[in-house]
Structure 1
């Protein structure tokens, strides 16, 4: 009888042990699966973090490159402006002004410096200024040149040969300066003449002073920054 109870007890103990073992095994498998899921989630999150970090570094590098390029551009413009100012420093400030605008150097010369009233022929003082500017441009081969003629809104005097209106006057003056510059040795493929008549005034006033400001020739110097971009490894 005792033996029977002993066998029953041992059987119960064995079943309990096996049951506990099964429960522990299931918990283990569940924990293992949860751990693996968390690891996959962590790996996916880390990949996103790495991708965002790489993207941020790339953007920071691009910004640094752009800032460096802008600084170099500004230095080139400042150097060119300084060189032009140095070459033209003997002229009256009221007749000649050098400035930087929109990534270009503007050399603005009054019609009083360059031309007699209604004339398209450059006078002696104007020739001197143009020749000295050409000397600077010969040393800066990467600079493109636009010559823009501007007038006031006073009609051209009737009976003037070859002149119908201010379009003619502005174009012919720009062409005359362009021809002078190429005759002095500036390559023709670097220079473009244009006439604006009175449609781009710097002063919209009606006074004689305002009209005098508008009668001008602007020689616009545009450096070629492509070589700079190439050196810096930046696509223009």
Structure 2
């Protein structure tokens, strides 16, 4: 009887020990799996942080490069403006102006400087001014040129030979100047003529002085923005 009791007790003890061992083993495996999952999660989080850090650094570099390019563009525009002012300093400053606006250089010349009243042919003084402007533009080959003709709101007299209206007058004058610029050596693919008639006045007043200010030709010089477009990831249009 005592033997059977001892045997039974031993069996119970063995089973309990084995059960405890199984529980400990399962707990260990669970902890191990949990630790592995946590390690993987930490690795994924670190990778994401590294990617965000790299992306932020890349953006900062791109921003710095863009700022550098814009500073260079601003410097180039100011240099171009100064060159043009110097080349045209001998002309009546009341008949022309050189300004920077919207990232472009605007050379505004009055019709008095360039044309006789109602004419589309550039006078000798205007030719001299344009020749000196061409000399500057030849040294700045990357600059695009838009020639805009503007009139006042006084309609062209009916029956005026070869000129139908203010649209016609502004376009013909712009085309004449474009022709001169290209004949003097500017590449035709750099220069574009455009007529605005009286729809973009420099002065909206009704006085004679305001009308005179509106009768003008604007030569708009646009810098090459290819490098800026590259920084932005934009393909420059041809």
TM, length-normalised to structure 2: 0.86
Equivalent-residue separation in structure 2 for 1:188 and 1:8 (angstroms): 111
Contact 1:65 1:234 in 2 (8 A): no
Residue 96 of structure 1 deviates from its aligned partner by 0.9
CA shift digits 1:129-151 (9 cap, x unpaired): 11110110111122221211100
- The offset of 1:52, in angstroms, is 2.3
1:67 aligned counterpart, secondary structure: helix
**Per-residue deviation, 1:154:** 0.5
Verify: 1:20 aligned to 2:17, yes or no. no
* 2:167 match: 167
Match of 1:126 in 2: 126
Change (3 A) 1:231 1:38: closer
Q: CA deviation at 1:128?
A: 1.7
Q: What is the CA distance between 1:60 and its match in structure 2?
A: 2.4
The residue aligned with 2:58 is 58
* Aligned equivalents of 1:158, 1:87: Cα separation in 2: 39
In 1, the alpha carbon distance for the partners of 2:39 and 2:188 equals 69
Contact in 1 for aligned 2:121/2:173 (Cα 8 Å):
yes
Aligned equivalents of 2:154, 2:98: Cα separation in 1: 26
Question: 2 CA distance for matches of 1:11 and 1:180?
Answer: 115
Q: Structure 1 212/130 Cα, relative in aligned 2: closer, same or farther at 3 Å?
A: same
For structure 2, the 5+ residue unaligned runs are none
SS state at 2:94 partner: coil
Q: Contact 2:120–2:172 (CA<8 Å) still a contact in 1?
A: yes
Shift of 1:217: 0.3
What is the Cα-based RMSD across aligned positions, in Å?
Answer: 2.5
User: Structure 1: how far apart are the matches of 2:229 and 2:42?
Assistant: 42
State the distance in 2 between where 1:106 and 1:233 align.
26
In structure 1, C-alpha distance between the alignment counterparts of 2:79 and 2:63, rounded to whole Å? 24
3-state SS, counterpart of residue 94 of structure 1: helix
Contact 2:70 2:228 in 1 (8 A): no
2:105 match:
105
Task: Tell me the secondary structure at the aligned position of residue 221 of structure 1.
Answer: strand
Equivalence for 1:225: 225
Structure 2 counterpart of 1:82: 82
Contact kept? 1:96, 1:110, Cα under 8 Å: yes
Q: Please, what TM-score do these two structures have when normalized by structure 1? A: 0.86
Aligned to 1:155: 155
Report the alpha carbon displacement of residue 124 of structure 1 after superposing the two structures with TM: 2.7
What is the CA–CA distance in structure 2 between the aligned matches of 1:22 and 1:183, rounded to whole Å? 98
- Aligned equivalents of 1:4, 1:137: Cα separation in 2: 116
Counterparts of 1:225 and 1:161 in 2: how far apart (Å)? 42
Distance, in Å, in 2 between the alignment partners of 1:15 and 1:180 is 109
| Structure 2 residue 47 is matched with structure 1 residue 47 | yes
Alpha-carbon displacement from aligned partner over 1:14-62 (angstroms, at most 9, x marks no partner): 3333232222222211211211221222222223223322332332233
**Structure 1 residues 230 and 56 mapped into 2: Cα distance closer, same or farther (>3 Å)?**
closer
